[in-house]
Amino acid sequence: MNTARAIAAAVNGGAPARAAVEISLARAEADTHNAIIRIHRERALNAADAVQARVKAGEFLPLAGVPIVVKDNISVRGMPATACSKILTGYVAPFNATAVERLEAAGAVVVATSNMDEFAMGSSNETSVFGPVRNPVDPTRIPGGSSGGSAAAVVAGIAPIALGSDTGGSIRQPASLCGCVGLKPTYGMVSRHGLIAFGSSLDQIGPLTTTVDDAALCLDIMAGTDIHDSTSAPRQHVALAPMLAGDPIAAIKGLRVGFVPEHREGLQPEVRARLDSTLESLRKAGAELVEVHVPHERYAIAVYYIVATGEAASNLARFDGVRFGHREDADSLHGMYAKTRASGFGTEVKRRIMLGTHVLSSGYYDAYYKKAMAVRRRLCDDFSAAFTKCDVLLGPTSPTTAFKVGEKTADPLTMYLSDIFTIAANLVGIPGISVPAGSDNQGLPIGLQLQAAQWGEAALLRAAAGIAALGR
> Annotated active-site positions, please?
71, 146, 170
91 or 130: CB nearest other proteins = 91
DSSP 299: G
Tell the smallest beta-carbon distance from residue 431 to other proteins (Å).
Answer: 12
**Contact predicate 287/256, CB 8 Å:** yes
3-class state of residue 234 by DSSP:
coil
In order of 26, 59, 68, the CA distances from 15 in angstroms are: 19, 14, 18
CB of 101 to other proteins, least distance (A): 14
Nearer to other proteins, 179 or 310 (CB): 310
Shortest Å, Cβ 307 to other proteins = 9
C-alpha distances in Å from residue 203, one per residue of 89, 194, 206? 23, 12, 10
| Burial (Cβ within 10 Å: 0-12, 13-18, ≥19) of residue 149 | buried
Alpha helices in 156-236, H assignment, sequence order: 172-178, 212-222
Rank residues 246 and 266 by Cβ distance to other proteins and give the closer one.
266
Smallest distance, other proteins to C-beta of residue 13, A? 37
Cis before 230 (ω within 30) = no
- Mapping DSSP to helix (H, G, I), strand (E, B) and coil, where does residue 313 land? helix
Spatial strand order of the sheet with 181-184 comes to 36-39, 109-114, 67-71, 161-166, 204-209, 181-184, 432-439, 445-452, 392-396, 256-259, 288-291
Compute the least distance from the CB of residue 370 to other proteins, in Å.
5
Backbone angles phi, psi at 406, to 5 degrees: 90, -10
Minimum gap (Å) between residue 425 Cβ and other proteins = 11
List residues binding other proteins (CB under 8 A).
90-92, 94, 186-188, 201, 227, 230-231, 233-234, 296, 299, 301-303, 305-306, 313, 317, 320-327, 329-339, 341-342, 345, 350-351, 353-355, 357-358, 361, 368, 370-378, 380, 412-413, 416, 427-429, 454
Q: Which amino acid is at 390?
A: C
Residue with Cβ nearer other proteins (347 or 442): 347
Tell me, what DSSP letter sits at residue 409?
Answer: T
17: number of Cβ within 10 Å? 29
CA distance 40 to 68: 11
Distances (CA, A) of 452 to 60, 178, 280, 341, 394: 32, 23, 20, 39, 9
Nearer to other proteins, 41 or 350 (CB): 350
Give the Å distances, CA to CA, from 359 to 87, 118, 232, 341, 419: 24, 22, 27, 20, 21
Compute the least distance from the CB of residue 160 to other proteins, in Å.
30
